[in-house]
A and B are shown apart, each in its own frame.
Chain A
Amino acid sequence: MKKYNRPVNQYYLDKSKQKVIESVMNEVNKDSLFVRLMQYKTPIIASLMMAALVLLALLSSNPLTGDPNPNSPVQPITLSENETVKFAEVSYLSGTLIASSFQVNSNQTMFLNTTDQTEFEGKFDEYHQYFNMLKVFLEPDYFKNKAQLVESDKEEYGSKLLFEADGVNYTLYMNVEEENVTGLLYVNNNVYNLSGTFEEEEEEFSLDLFASSGENYININYDSEFGSETESTYYVESMINGKYSEEEIQVSHEEDEYKVEMENMTSSFELTYEFDDGQYVYKLSYEINDQEGEVLITESINEFGETIYHYHVTEGDISRDLDREKPSFDEDDDEDDEDDEDDEDDEDDEDDEDDEDDEDDDEMDTNNQPNQVKEKLIL
C-alpha cells in the first residue's frame, strides 16, 4: 500500500511533542471534578452506578417507553420526530432501491442502435427508477407527516414504522438493542431482511441500514453529523445481481427551492421541480460519460388511469421524447400474467442462464416489463 506521508524534521517534531504534551498535561492536572472522580474513584462509582441501575430496573417497567409489559422479550423504541423521519427516508430508499434494482437490471430497455443515440437513452431505465424514487424528496417535509412509529403487532419486534410514499406502502418492523437495528421491511407485499446500526450522541445521530434479499443487498448510511438542517446526504452501496454500485444522494433546500443530487460511478444528475413555460415540470440536468444534457419531465394520466411520465431529452443537438409508465412494486395480477406470457417466451431465449436467479425476482412486480413500456422516439 502506497503511503504519502511528508517526512517531518525530527528536531521540530520533538519540539512539537514536548509542547503538546506539556499543554495537555496542564489541562489534565486541572481537569474537572467529574474526570478526577472517574479516575480516582472508578471502582466505587461503578459500583454505585450499577446499584442505581439495578434499582431503576427493579422499580421501573421501562423508563424510556413506559411499556406496561416488563416480560415482553422486545421493547418498543422511542425516536425523536427527526429520527423517525430519517428512519423512514432511509427505509424508503433501501426498499425502493432494492425493489427497483431488480427491474433495472433484468429489464434493460433496448433502443434502436442509431449513431445519434443519446447517453440518456442508455441510462433511461436506471434514471426512470431514480426519478420516481427521488421526486418525493422535492416535496417539503414529505416524510414528516407520513411516518408513524407505533408498537409492533408482530411479537418478535418491538416497534413498527409505517408510511406510504408515492402510492406504495412501507412497513418496517424493528428492534433496536444497544446500537443494533434488526428488522423486516415490507414494500407493499415484498419482504426484505434489514439490519444496521443506529447511534445517538448528544444532538447527533447516524443510521446505517443494510437491506438484503438473497445475495443482493443495499447498504445506506445517513449521518446527521455530516449534514445540516438544510442538507441531507445518503451514501448508498449496493450489490445487485453481482453488480457493485455506489451512489451519493444529497437532498438540499434553500428557501422554497428543493433539489436532489445524485452521483454514482458513471454519472450524476440534479433534479428540481420548476415552473417552466406556464406549467410545473421536473427538470433533470445530467452528466453521463462526460456528456451533459437536460430532461424536462411532465406527468399525465392515460385513458386507463395510469400515470405516464413524458421525458423531453435535450443532449447537444439531439432531442428525444420518451414516455414511461410509473413503476409499481405490486405483485402481478392475473391480467398482467396473461400479458407477460409472450414476453417470458422472448426473454427465455436471451436469459436462459439467468433462469435460476430470476426465481428470486418473481416476487417483484413485472408491470414495468419492456412490452408494457410505451416509448416513442422522435428525431
Chain B
Amino acid sequence: MNEDVKIIHRILRGEKDEYAVLMDRYHNELFSYVYNLVVQVETTEDLLQDIFLKIYKKLHKYDAKKASFRTWMYRIAHNEVINYLRSSQVKYQTGVIDKIEFIEDDEDIEHDVIKEEKMNLILKAINKRLKKKHKDIMFLHYFSGLTVKEISEVLDIPDKTIYHAIDSSIAKIKEAVQLYEKV
C-alpha cells in the first residue's frame, strides 16, 4: 500500500489532522498547475482551498484500485480550474502576472521575460485554436507534472488519443505562436 493510501485510511479512521500531511505533499505541485492557468496568486490560493476541501469531502469515494491518488486529485483540481475559468469569463489569462515577485528570482531576467511572453502566447494559442478536449489535454501536458499515461487517467481518455491530440495540438500551437510573434 503506498503512502498516500495509508494516509487516506488514517484520515477516514478519524485522524483528521493527517489531511494536512496529504495537502503538504501535493500543495506545491497543484499550486504550480493552477497558478500557470489563472496567473493570479490570490485566485490560485482561493482555488486551492476549494480544491483541497472538495478532495477532503470526496475522500471516502476515492478508490485506489481505479486510479492513483495523484491522478484522482488532478481530476478534481482540473475540473475546478476549468469551471472557474469558464464561469468567471476571465478566460485564460495572457500577459498579466499580478505579483511578479512571486516568480523565482533569476539572474537572467531577459530570459525570464522571453519565457513569460512565450508562455502567454502558448496559452493564447491553446485558448483560441484548440477545441475543449484538446485544451484539457494540453493544459495538463504543458503545466502539470503528469505523464501522458497519468493525463490519460485524469481525463479518462485512451493514451493513444492523448498522443494524437498532443501531436496535432503542438502543430496548431506552433503555427499560431509564429503568427502571433509576427504581429
B39-78 contact mask (Cβ, 8 Å, vs A): 1 or 0 = 0010011001100110011001000000000000000000
Whether A263 touches B131, Cβ cut-off 8 Å, given contacts A1-B141, A16-B45, A23-B49, is: yes
Which residues of A1-59 have CB atoms within 8 Å of chain B's CB atoms? Answer: 1-10, 12-13, 16-17, 19-21, 23-25, 27-29, 31, 35, 38-40, 42
Q: In the assembled complex, how far is the CB of residue B42 from the closest CB belonging to chain A, in whole angstroms? A: 10
Instruction: Point out the residues of chain A lying under 8 angstroms from B20, CB to CB.
Output: 21, 25
Is A248 located at the chain interface by the 8 A CB criterion?
A: yes
Known contacts A6-B116, A39-B12; A21/B24 CB under 8 A = yes
Q: Are B104 and A7 in contact (CB under 8 A)?
A: yes
B23 with A13: CB separation less than 8 A: no
**Complex-state Cα separation, A19 to B49, whole angstroms:** 9
- In the bound assembly, the distance between CA atoms of A22 and B101 in angstroms comes to 23
Residue picked from A2, A23, A24, A248, most chain B C-beta under 10 Å: A24
The answer on a CB contact under 8 Å between A235 and B24 is no
Interface size class of A (residues with CB under 8 A): 35 or more
Find the B residue at minimum CB distance from A46.
B60
B182 at the interface (CB under 8 A from A): no
Select B14's contact among A9, A17, A40, A263, beta carbons within 8 Å: A40
Q: Which residues of A are found within 8 Å of B6, using beta-carbon distances?
A: none
Q: Which of B104, B106, B143 contacts A8 (CB 8 A)?
A: B104
Contact A19 B12 (CB under 8 A): no
The distance from the CB of A22 to the nearest CB of chain B, in whole angstroms, is: 9
* Measured CA separation A211–B97 after assembly (Å): 45
Query: Assuming A13-B28, A13-B31, A35-B57, is B36 touching A6 (CB within 8 A)?
Result: yes
State whether the Cβ of A246 lies closer than 8 Å to any Cβ in chain B: yes
A280 proximal to B (CB < 8 A): no
Chain B residues within 8 Å of A224, by CB: none
**Quick one: CB contact mask for B4-36 with A, threshold 8 Å, 1 for yes?**
000000011110110110011001100110011
Q: Are B19 and A24 in contact (CB under 8 A)?
A: yes
Q: Are A17 and B52 in contact (CB under 8 A)?
A: no
Question: Cβ of A17: which chain B residues have Cβ within 8 Å of it?
Answer: 23-24, 27-28, 31
Closest A residue, CB atoms, query B44:
A16
User: A6, A21, A23, A237: which has the most chain B beta carbons within 10 Å?
Assistant: A6
B102: contacting residue among A12, A19, A24, CB under 8 A: A12
Given contacts A9-B105, A39-B16, contact A20 B27 (CB under 8 A): yes
Bits for B126-150, please: 1 = Cβ < 8 Å to A, else 0: 0000011100000001110101100
In the bound complex, residues from chain B placing their C-beta under 8 Å from that of A23 are: 49
B183 at the interface (CB under 8 A from A): no
By the criterion CB–CB under 8 Å, are B27 and A21 in contact? yes
Are A244 and B164 neighbours in the complex by a CB distance under 8 Å?
yes
Q: Assess whether B35 is in contact with A8, with CB atoms less than 8 Å apart.
A: yes
User: B31 contacts A3, CB within 8 Å?
Assistant: no
| 20 contacting pairs across A/B (C-beta < 8 A) | A1-B141, A4-B36, A6-B36, A6-B104, A16-B27, A17-B23, A17-B27, A19-B45, A20-B45, A20-B48, A21-B20, A21-B23, A21-B27, A23-B49, A24-B53, A39-B12, A39-B16, A221-B133, A235-B133, A248-B132
Smallest CB-CB A-B distances: 4 pairs: A7-B104, A248-B131, A17-B27, A24-B52
Known A-B contacts: A16-B27, A31-B56, A248-B132. Give 8 more (CB < 8 A). A4-B36, A8-B28, A21-B23, A24-B19, A24-B49, A39-B60, A246-B131, A246-B165
